[in-house]
Amino acid sequence: MLQFSLVILLAADAAGLAAWEKIHSVLTSPRCINCHTATNYPQQGDDRHRHFANVIRGKQDKGVIALSCATCHQAKNADSTGLPGAHNWQLAPLSMKWQDLNDRPLPSAEICRSVKSHLDGPHLVKHHEEEALVLWAWNPGRRPDGTMRTLPPLTHAEFVEATRQWVKAGRPCP
């Protein structure tokens, strides 16, 4: 009986970790991780280079006066000019950094712990399902050169489903 429970427990854990890996693959994709920096600047592009024009974080993660995120980014994508946009466009606070100071993604376990520390299960699912800045990643708009920005590796529906699975499995971290 104990062995059977252990097998179920291990299976559940494995499923939960698999779900986390799916979530992690999205979080560390450029459309998400570019604004979850540990530095005082955002990144841009699939190559995740430092954002041009000396744009910086500022005290409230929204840039500085005259060079705030809102100086360019509006509440919606501006496809005609290549500017991405969404409601409340800003950097994630440093407490939600998913990179180190050398712009390298943190270990999966560390990101996992960070995610867990901010929102409980139900709120996380809601966040992934409805938050404008999250949704933006699947509607990232056109670059100034006319090409479309690349999407995260999963569909939004798959991402939300993976989140549900992970929460259901007790949010295991590697």
Contacts with other proteins by CB under 8 A lie at 52-56, 58, 64-68, 70-72, 74-76, 78-83, 85, 144-146
Nearer to other proteins, 51 or 171 (CB): 51
Nearer to other proteins, 2 or 66 (CB): 66
Q: How far is the CB of 105 from other proteins (least distance, A)?
A: 19
Amino acid code (one letter) for 162: A
Classify residue 76 by its DSSP letter: S
Q: Report the C-alpha gap between 160 and 18 in whole angstroms.
A: 14
What are the CA-CA distances from residue 18 to residues 75, 79, 109 (Å)?
34, 36, 13
* 105 bridge partner residues: 99
Nearer to other proteins, 82 or 121 (CB): 82
Q: Report the C-alpha gap between 119 and 45 in whole angstroms.
A: 28
Nearer to other proteins, 58 or 172 (CB): 58
Amino acid code (one letter) for 120: D
Q: How far is the CB of 16 from other proteins (least distance, A)?
A: 40
Q: What is the maximal distance between C-alpha atoms in the chain?
A: 66
Q: How far is the CB of 12 from other proteins (least distance, A)?
A: 46
Nearer to other proteins, 121 or 141 (CB): 141
Q: How far is the CB of 66 from other proteins (least distance, A)?
A: 4
**Contact between residue 101 and residue 39 where contact means Cβ atoms under 8 Å apart:** yes
What count of other Cβ atoms lies within 10 Å of the Cβ of residue 127? 15
Backbone φ and ψ for 73, nearest 5 degrees, come out as -80, 125
Q: How far is the CB of 14 from other proteins (least distance, A)?
A: 42
